[in-house]
Amino acid sequence: MRVLIFTGWYPNGNNAVKGVFVREQVRALHKSGLEVALLYPFDEEIPSGKLGKSWEEGIRVYRAHSMALRNRYLARLYSYFVSWRLLRKLSDEFQPDLLHVHVGYPAAMIAYFFTRKHKIPYLITEHMSFLQDYVAKFRHRVLLRRAFEKAALVLPVSAALAEQIRGFGWKTTLQVVPNVVDTERFSPGKADREGRVGVKDRVNILFVGGLDETQVKGLQFLLPAFAALVKETPARLRVLGDGMYRPRYEKQAEELDISGYCTFQGWVNPAAMPDYYRDCDFLVLSSLKETFGCVLLEAMACGKPVLATACGGPQSIVKAGTGLLVAPGDVSALEQGLKEMVRRLSQFDSKFIRAHVERHYGSQALAEKLSGIYQEIANDSAKRYSYK
């Protein structure tokens, strides 16, 4: 079976984490034996008017920069047209059995128009937590509704996102399929392979997230909660990530008198991330909103327990024995969660955490699930589509 992946987000040289979960899924599909190719027509690193074609880990990847005009409204229309033409070109060249779209706006809308003439079934994986912001605008709502309703299947990455889409009142078939984590790359260190969790002298806590002006990662709530923890428990907080609000957070840490216990590491090469997870005792996700929470899976794949806010995606990930959930945007809740994690740290079983991730989010498990979905759509396509 041939599957063409059409995505609105994908990593490049300037942004190694944008849509990294799409790349992980494509890798898993390729590794399982499926023939896949990928089109990412929104890559600003590609010269305008050019189509970049490369083999990335054995996968055909096509990149283009379709948003090349200065006027943003004309640029958007031009981008849709260019993307439509690229879909046609690659469809003729690759001859896919189906089209798998990632990120509804704008990729699903483009796929909708493309498949009106080219009778290829498509499904949508939705990652966007702020999809409702686009749906609130009439012109987007009309196109998104048509795109979602025509899709053979819509795959939200979490139950919370499925509820959001269900609330739009659209006639869609939904099935939650989570993101995948590379369990070969993210794996336990020696102590965690033996099932041990915890340290003797101090607790090492890890935060991973952007430090931008949206403040959606909730570090402004975590820092005072951590300040309360270190008054009672020897601990260190390592903050991985960067953004324009980093100086503000560093100043907040100084005002809380925790600068000596809190390290702002800045941007970290993704290749080094497994080691940072292995070095911590547990990860904290303090976000106000998350569609999913890939960092939770990465830490858990390394055998680490997690403390997360119940802000959407984490409720589908954090289960008994893998960590704790607390209310978002609440310093007191985070403080109590930190203290409870420290108290229960020795009770967490890293082998159990790792096995849970492999069973539900590992490459093989997700590839098998998607392969089954693809086959069902292909079997049903003769009833819904007439091929050329």
Q: Domain-by-domain residue ranges, the chain?
A: 2-180+362-384, 190-361
Instruction: Kindly state the tokens that stand for 175.
Output: 């099935």
Whether pLDDT at 193 is above 60: no
Q: Binning pLDDT at 50, 70 and 90, where does residue 142 land?
A: very high
Q: Provide the phi-psi class of 287: left if phi over 0, else alpha when psi is between -120 and 50, else beta.
A: beta
Per-residue pLDDT tens over the stretch 240-274: 999 999 999 999 999 999 999 999 999 999 899 99
Cα atoms in the Cβ-side hemisphere of radius 13 Å centred on 114: 28
Instruction: Kindly state the tokens that stand for 150.
Output: 């025509």
Whether pLDDT at 385 is above 60: no
* Helical (H) or strand (E) element with 147: helix 138-150
Q: Binning pLDDT at 50, 70 and 90, where does residue 189 land?
A: confident
Percentage of the residues of the chain whose pLDDT score is greater than 90: 84
Q: Which CATH architecture has domain 2-180+362-384?
A: 3-Layer(aba) Sandwich (3.40)
Instruction: Kindly state the tokens that stand for 328.
Output: 């978002």
**Strand-pair category, 51-56 with 282-285:** unpaired
| Alpha carbons 267 and 310: distance in angstroms, whole number | 26
Sign of CA dihedral 73, 77, 83, 89: negative
Structure confidence at residue 387 (pLDDT): 43
CATH fold of 190-361 reads Rossmann fold (3.40.50)
Contact 285, 314 (CB under 8 A): yes
Instruction: Kindly state the tokens that stand for 201.
Output: 């002298």
**Strand-pair category, 203-208 with 235-240:** parallel
Helix H segments across the chain?
20-31, 72-94, 109-117, 131-135, 138-150, 159-166, 190-193, 219-230, 246-255, 273-279, 294-301, 314-317, 331-344, 350-361, 363-384
Per-residue pLDDT tens over the stretch 57-99: 999 999 998 876 666 777 788 888 999 999 999 999 999 999 9
Structure confidence at residue 49 (pLDDT): 82
Q: Provide the phi-psi class of 182: left if phi over 0, else alpha when psi is between -120 and 50, else beta.
A: beta
Are both 2-180+362-384 and 190-361 of the same fold?
yes
Q: What is the dihedral of CA 136, 67, 56, 6, to 10 degrees?
A: 40
The residue with greater pLDDT, 386 or 313, is 313
Residue written as token pair 């800045």: 266
Contact 69, 75 (CB under 8 A): yes
Specify the DSSP class assigned to residue 105. I
Whether pLDDT at 199 is above 80: no
In 3D space, the residue among 99, 127, 126 whose CA is nearest the CA of residue 112 turns out to be: 99
Per-residue pLDDT tens over the stretch 123-136: 999 999 889 999 99
| Alpha carbons 314 and 248: distance in angstroms, whole number | 27
Whether pLDDT at 196 is above 60: no
Sign of CA dihedral 151, 152, 155, 156: positive
| 197: CB partners within 8 A, 6+ apart | 281, 303, 304, 305, 345, 346, 348, 349, 350
In 3D space, the residue among 99, 146, 142 whose CA is nearest the CA of residue 124 turns out to be: 99
Whether pLDDT at 388 is above 50: no
| Alpha carbons 10 and 216: distance in angstroms, whole number | 21
**Full DSSP string of 246-296:** HHHHHHHHHHTT-GGGEEEEE---GGGHHHHHHH-SEEEE--S-BS--HHH
